[in-house]
Structure 1
Amino acid sequence: MNLTVTEEAAKWYEEELDVTNKTSLRFYVRYGGVGGLQPGFSLGIKFEEPQEPLVQTEVGNITFFIEEDDEWYFADHSLQVELNEKWDEPDFQYDSE
């Protein structure tokens, strides 16, 4: 599994979440929401330090990561986070490996 966050998406997170110093942001699986990879679940975010990261990438001031215990959600897919320019918000793309 790979995790890619574009510079535009990372900048959006920095601005929206008022990130000014180095920090870590976890993508985690939550119950509910729409547009997720697995029915009935979606991705959430929270500031947290990695404990057992499955994947991580650093872009700008943020280390983005996914913990090993959320691996089931991705079912052999990689995650790419891009900025949707029309809606000015992050867009999650799931690519088969």
Structure 2
Amino acid sequence: MQLAITDEASRWFHRELSLPDKGAGIRFFGKAYGKTQVHDGFSVGMTRDDHPDQPIMAVEKDGVTYFVDPTDAWFFENLAMTVDYDAHLDEPKYEFKEE
């Protein structure tokens, strides 16, 4: 499992969620309904969570820890996820590749 956050996505999270310069966290999880490149019927959710507890995947960018909890391993297992920014929709976009 791998996780990457682009510079554009980082700026979006800071702007839209009014994140501080350091100490914030964003947790990604699988949710019912939707579709990704590798899931049918499921999509990516995210929430502010400043206290990761033993994440299975994490990366720090611009003072923010982006991570996945062990309970969501089923969604991210054997995948690399890049979080980018969609300027047309003004929201994050999630790109997956199988490892």
Asked whether the two chains share a fold, i.e. TM above 0.5, the reply is yes
Q: Measure how far apart 1:50 and its partner are.
A: 1.0
Q: Measure how far apart 1:82 and its partner are.
A: 0.8
Q: Which segments of 5 or more consecutive residues in structure 2 lack a partner in the other structure?
A: none
Question: Residue type of the partner of 2:16?
Answer: E
Corresponding residue for residue 91 of structure 1: 93
Corresponding residue for residue 64 of structure 2: 62
Q: Which segments of 5 or more consecutive residues in structure 1 lack a partner in the other structure?
A: none
Corresponding residue for residue 15 of structure 2: 15
Corresponding residue for residue 31 of structure 2: 30
Identity of aligned residues (%): 29
- Runs of 4+, deviation exceeding 6 Å: none
Q: Is the 8 A contact 1:78 1:94 kept in 2?
A: yes
Corresponding residue for residue 76 of structure 1: 78
Post-superposition Cα deviations, 1:14-72, rounded to whole Å, max 9, x if no partner, equal 1001112420110012222x233422222111122111211111111311001122111
Corresponding residue for residue 50 of structure 1: 52
Q: Measure how far apart 1:96 and its partner are.
A: 1.1
Question: Residue type of the partner of 1:63?
Answer: T
Query: TM-score, normalized by length of structure 1?
Result: 0.87
Alpha-carbon RMSD across the aligned residues, in angstroms, is 1.5
Equivalent pairs counted in the alignment come to 96
**Counterparts of 2:35 and 2:63, CA distance in 1:** 27
